[in-house]
Amino acid sequence: MLQYRQIDTDIVDQNLLLMSTIIKTDSEIEKMRIAGKLASEVLDMIEEHVKPGITTEELDTICHDYMVNEQDSIPACLNYRGFPKSVCTSVNHVICHGIPGEKRLKKGDIINIDVTVIKDGYHGDNSRMYHVGKPTILGQRICEVAKESMLIGIDMVKPGVHLGDIGHAIQTHAESNNFSVVREYCGHGIGKGFHEEPQVLHYGRPNTGMALVEGMTFTIEPMINAGKKDTRLLADNWTVVTRDHSLSAQWEHTVLVTATGYEILTASANSVHP
């Protein structure tokens, strides 16, 4: 119970964050639908190329050329804060921000491909897991649980729901499958900016954090580890791996808060939805 003149700092924090969160207009939303669809179509396109023997650099080149030449979109990752490639490729125990390179994929690997495009000034950001050849039992399970975690989080989105409710639902699903949730990296507001307010944590407590408002656009992108939640940043200053070298999986969509719920902006022929 608050006393007279005492300030509820959580409400103050929530209001300050809300002021720095950009509510999109209808014309901005239309542009984000287009950018989101393009980002998702890159993930549709690359699926058939994810085969044993291909290198992550070759996957990067195929995605790059498709964005630039077929879509007339800009690969947002290229040169973003010095990132050297056009997409992120994170294999097995790599959690996120893997840099495409000489590494050849082999049967049983799992790989996250994370694609962000810019079209007409707006971003669409999404990622999926792919199996290389026949999956292992654990590889299959962790990709499935990471996907379900994202979908459960998305399905909670509507005005008035708190970010902590979403984080809590994701965390509960992952942990009830004996997996862990990465803490150091999170979803984010998105629009003209690649990473805008708010931060969207994939763990948390119900009824805490910002309440959602119609017109917000953000990503939900849980990173789920088979072992412990702890991370390590490699010397390249980008690649994030599980400290215990356990497998890790991630799925990502960009979503819009609508009057009654949500719309997935990174939608295309082969994208997965709740």
Instruction: Catalog residues that contact ligand MF3 under the rule CB under 6 A.
Output: 77, 80-81, 83, 88, 97, 114, 116, 125, 221, 238, 252
CB of 2 to Co ion, least distance (A): 36
Which secondary structure element, helix H or strand E, spans residue 224, and what is its range?
strand 223-225
Task: Report yes or no: 199 and 164 within 8 Å, Cβ to Cβ.
Answer: no
Q: Which of 112, 65, 70, 68 is closest to 92 using CA atoms?
A: 112
Contact partner, 83, from ligand MF3, Co ion, none, Cβ < 5-8 Å per class: ligand MF3
Contact partner, 197, from Co ion, ligand MF3, none, Cβ < 5-8 Å per class: none
Record the tokens describing residue 135, joined without a space: 């999956």
Distance of alpha carbon 56 from alpha carbon 58, whole angstroms: 5
Is residue 114 a contact point for Co ion (CB under 5 A)? yes
Give the angle subtended at the CA of 144 by the CAs of 141 and 247, to the nearest 5°.
55
Distance of alpha carbon 179 from alpha carbon 223, whole angstroms: 10
The residue among 108 and 238 lying less far from Co ion, judged by its C-beta, is 238
The residue among 83 and 208 lying less far from ligand MF3, judged by its C-beta, is 83
CA 250 to chain centre: 7
CB of 151 to ligand MF3, least distance (A): 17
Record the tokens describing residue 198, joined without a space: 């708010």
The residue among 135 and 189 lying less far from ligand MF3, judged by its C-beta, is 189
Record the tokens describing residue 115, joined without a space: 């694609």
Contact partner, 237, from ligand MF3, Co ion, none, Cβ < 5-8 Å per class: none
CB of 190 to Co ion, least distance (A): 7
Contact partner, 28, from ligand MF3, Co ion, none, Cβ < 5-8 Å per class: none
Binding stretches for Co ion (CB under 5 A):
114, 125, 219, 252
